[in-house]
Amino acid sequence: MPSNKSVSDASIVQFTNCRILRDHQLQREDLWVREGKILNPEKLFFDEKGSADVQLDCKDSIIAPGFIDVQINGGFGVDFSLATDDFKSGIDLVSQKILSHGVTSFCPTLVSSPPSVYHQVLPQISVRNGGAHGAGILGAHLEGPFISKEKKGAHPEHCLRTFEAGAFQDLLATYGSLDCVQIVTLAPEMRRSSEVIRELTKRGICVSLGHSVANLSQAEEAVQHGATFITHLFNAMLPFHHRDPGIVGLLTSDKIPAGRRVFYGMISDGIHTNPAALRIAHRAHPKGLVLVTDAIAGMGLAPGRHTLGQQVVEIDGLNTYIAGTKTLSGSVATMDTCVRHFQEATGCSVETALEAASLHPAQLLGIEHKKGTLNYDSDADFLMLNDSLCVQATYIAGEEVWRQDVLGM
């Protein structure tokens, strides 16, 4: 067997008998991995005269990029908006548990909280690669507190804030630090929001529009200043109206700057968005749809009372409400469930459903050169799935980090 040691001593793994999601299509090819990266087999054969050290038969599985969840408030009894002494062990638990649902990277999300919570929690969140310990952390998503009282949803009103004279300084004082922040959700109709959006964008932070009563022109202005995302489309915003479609109108706006794409999150759990609304959004702007779980601490737990930041929530089946109300408060659906529901509700292709949870969030965050695809030289974060899109195994950097128990299959 020809040696591949001239270039690297690392072993080469060849995944065979599989269908790979590449270039928006399931292709019957082998997947080659070395040192945590997807390898180009032609370069290996012709330039290095190398071959595989290990071959793995995937038994006709689908191989897709790992899922990326950019809005997850917690799960398995852990609430990211609660400042606790063992916060790090909580985030470790969630990152470990979501591997079984195909999530290989995520943005821990904090709902509107007092400044003291941000000051205590944010220094404990650090960007890190995934591995056997759990999914990678891409940075925090701060949902609020600069949002509309009218569309606060499950956010506690006493925590909400407005921008005063030194708008960006207000934001910095509230959060304490932006070092590990990846996304900020705010209401674009707020006075001085434009300068805040510009400042955040300048720092490479994704600005998302949500929990808002903005009209379409206010939303378009926010996008022109740098906003690129909509937080859980249809939820906590003005409903679509034919004379002023509000934030929803961004999906077909002709005022989006050239070369820019607006993405929008959708909670595809069968509760937050009617399947018809899911279909409307997807058909209007398919390349912008990003599946998010918006999962709360109760995900993975029995029905009953749990927390979401400063609030108590009740879980009844897949419904989660602020205790004593009928106000929806996040979801308990897992990402793989959202992918399956999205495909079933829209009738879209398997490829489209998988890319909404992988490629699109990677594009939103500007990391599609390394995550969200199986292109050569990208990170070898991928899933094996069956034809029903149930996750059978999860890999990070080419290493198996979770596998379905054969007895449970």
294 flagged as catalytic: yes
| 319 marked as part of a ligand binding site | no
Task: Report the alpha-carbon distance of residue 10 to residue 380 in Å, rounded.
Answer: 14
| 236 marked as part of a ligand binding site | yes
Contacting residues for 243 by C-beta, under 8 A, at least 6 apart: none
Cis upstream peptide for 108 (omega within 30°): no
How far apart, in Å, are the Cα atoms of 30 and each of 22, 33, 369?
11, 10, 20
- Six token digits for residue 253: 């706006």
Q: Give the residue from 140, 181, 187 showing the smallest Cα distance to 162.
A: 187
Q: Please check whether residue 14 is in contact with residue 58, taking contact to mean a CB–CB distance below 8 angstroms.
A: no
| 330 marked as part of a ligand binding site | yes
Task: Report the alpha-carbon distance of residue 345 to residue 317 in Å, rounded.
Answer: 19
| 329 marked as part of a ligand binding site | yes
Catalytic residue from among 69, 269, 294, 379: 294
| 272 marked as part of a ligand binding site | yes
| 211 marked as part of a ligand binding site | yes
| 154 marked as part of a ligand binding site | yes
Estimate to the nearest angstrom the gap between the alpha carbon of 148 and the chain centroid.
23
Task: Report the alpha-carbon distance of residue 231 to residue 204 in Å, rounded.
Answer: 18
Binding positions for Zn(2+): 143, 211, 232
Binding positions: 143, 154, 211, 232, 235-236, 243, 272, 328-330
Binding positions for substrate: 154, 235-236, 243, 272, 328-330
Catalytic residues: 294
